[in-house]
Copies of this chain bind each other. A is one copy, B any other.
Amino acid sequence: MAFIPHTEGDVADMLAAIGAASIGELFDEIPPGLRVDELPGVPEAISEMAITRLMQARAAQDQGALCFIGAGAYEHHIPAAVWEITTRGEYYSAYTPYQAEASQGTLQLIYEYQSMMASLTGLDVSNASLYDGASALAEAALMAVRANRRSKARRILLPRTVPPVYARVAEAIAGTQGIEFCRVDYDTASGTTPVAALAPWENEDVTAVVIPQPTFLGSLEAVDALTDWAHARGALVIAVVNPLSLALLKPPGQWGAAGADIACGEGQPLGVPLSSGGPYFGFMTTRASHVRQMPGRIVGRTVDLDGKPGFTLTLQAREQHIRRSKATSNICTNQGLMVTAATIYMSLLGAEGLARVAASSHANTRRLVDALSALPGVERALSGPCFHESVLRFDRPVGPVLEALATRDVFGGYDLTTDFPELGHALLVCATETKTAEDIAHYAGALADVLKQQKVA
């Protein structure tokens, strides 16, 4: 029996202690008509060896291309130590630290994580993680509604420069609670949100304004002006940020005169592998004054009976297991192990290391854009600076170009046509620190080839 340690003798002894004749008898309270014998679609057991071979083949099948896609998930070098330690059984096979004394490892680590995230975002307090960046924005919207007691409107301004899927997820999760997400237009020349685009809500009751930095298009918003606009109208500011970019960029806590009120985003760039989109983790930080409105676990430092410092879950009265229907969120299991990885990642890199990764990604993307836009039929679509993604405009539809590149084992980028039709044949490209000069030249060569072979539509 795979993983089940009972001997025949054990079973007999145990049944005797229970006073049952068979294991089957233990199920005698289940209405007989409901019991099943077959599980259709479930194959016979295979050994670890067989599944190893199968999974090796399947992994190999998908491997080997050079990836220039970003669009919310970024390929960064992850130091080997990160996952060698993160997958230690003591982290990997523990659960939520309900028994603080038996979980000081995880608890101290989360406290350290919270400290790092607070400093990175320039805010006071952090939770212990949410599911991912997109759902974190939904939670931030719900939190803003709770925190902004002045506002009655449940209205959140959501620029189109926020990742489109974040908007969809926010709508799906928070939409049924009467929250109105108002989309704010952007300037197609720069790919950013002009303060003027907020004018329609100039005199409305706005609960919060979401400000992405960098934008989904890689561009940089005028965060100070947008923040001040919101605060001037009593709206809270929700920053959606790439945490890696904060090694270089101004932290949300310092935006405008007063700083953003909530920062959230996708934690994946901090040591979490791409792995098909998850598990990643959402992060969220805020001002101390809003801490009781924050969803998710929070770890606090305290002392034990002997006065020795230690760590424990705190402010649990916000959470579903205490407050039930009145909780700040239904979240329970979050993304603890990813936070473990991120904390180790940030410790290994430090501020200077993160800055180098960010700067190198920035420089590589610039090089990539230079190389690709030198080709006939390709041009930069947006003016202004970008962080580590940029939009290219083609003289033909992007889809077939990407397909042709894929047959050459180059993933050329993210096709913007569906979500941003007004940008034309637009492609979002990204070259992180993992890309070498040869990689970039390889992409440019492949693209030149493809463009030559494909006719302009």
Q: Does A84 contact B (CB under 8 A)?
A: yes
* Cβ contact of A49, chosen from B49, B84, B88, B433, cutoff 8 A: B433
Q: Which chain B residues border A80 with CB–CB below 8 Å?
A: 48, 52
* Cβ contact of A77, chosen from B49, B79, B84, cutoff 8 A: B49
Report Cα–Cα, A48/B79, bound state, in Å.
Answer: 7
Report Cα–Cα, A77/B47, bound state, in Å.
Answer: 10
- Contact (Cβ within 8 A) A434 B88: no
Task: Give the nearest-CB partner of A433 in chain B.
Answer: B49
Q: Does A454 contact B (CB under 8 A)?
A: no
Task: Give the nearest-CB partner of A87 in chain B.
Answer: B84
Copy count, this protein chain: 2
A45 CB → nearest B CB, Å: 14
Chain A contacts with B in 32-53, Cβ cutoff 8 A? 47-49, 52-53
- Contact (Cβ within 8 A) B434 A49: yes
Q: Which chain B residues border A87 with CB–CB below 8 Å?
A: 84
Tell me the dominant secondary structure on chain A's binding face. loop
Q: Which chain B residues border A49 with CB–CB below 8 Å?
A: 77, 433-434
Task: Give the nearest-CB partner of A92 in chain B.
Answer: B84
Q: Which chain B residues border A88 with CB–CB below 8 Å?
A: 88
Task: Give the nearest-CB partner of A90 in chain B.
Answer: B88
Task: Give the nearest-CB partner of A79 in chain B.
Answer: B48
Task: Give the nearest-CB partner of A48 in chain B.
Answer: B79
Report Cα–Cα, A283/B52, bound state, in Å.
Answer: 29
Q: Which chain B residues border A84 with CB–CB below 8 Å?
A: 87
Q: Which chain B residues border A79 with CB–CB below 8 Å?
A: 48
Report Cα–Cα, A47/B78, bound state, in Å.
Answer: 12
A11 CB → nearest B CB, Å: 18
Chain A contacts with B in 52-91, Cβ cutoff 8 A? 52-53, 77, 79-80, 84, 87-88
Report Cα–Cα, A433/B48, bound state, in Å.
Answer: 12
A65 CB → nearest B CB, Å: 13
Report Cα–Cα, A15/B206, bound state, in Å.
Answer: 62
Report Cα–Cα, A79/B49, bound state, in Å.
Answer: 8
Task: Give the nearest-CB partner of A76 in chain B.
Answer: B49
Report Cα–Cα, A77/B53, bound state, in Å.
Answer: 10
Q: A49-B433, A53-B434 are in contact. List 11 more A-B contacts (CB 8 A).
A: A47-B77, A48-B77, A48-B79, A48-B80, A49-B77, A49-B434, A52-B77, A52-B80, A53-B436, A84-B87, A88-B88
What are 13 A-to-B residue pairs whose CB atoms are below 8 Å? A47-B77, A48-B77, A48-B79, A48-B80, A49-B77, A49-B433, A49-B434, A52-B77, A52-B80, A53-B434, A53-B436, A84-B87, A88-B88
Query: Which 10 interchain pairs have the tightest Cβ spacing?
Result: A49-B77, A48-B79, A49-B434, A88-B88, A52-B77, A48-B77, A48-B80, A49-B433, A84-B87, A52-B80
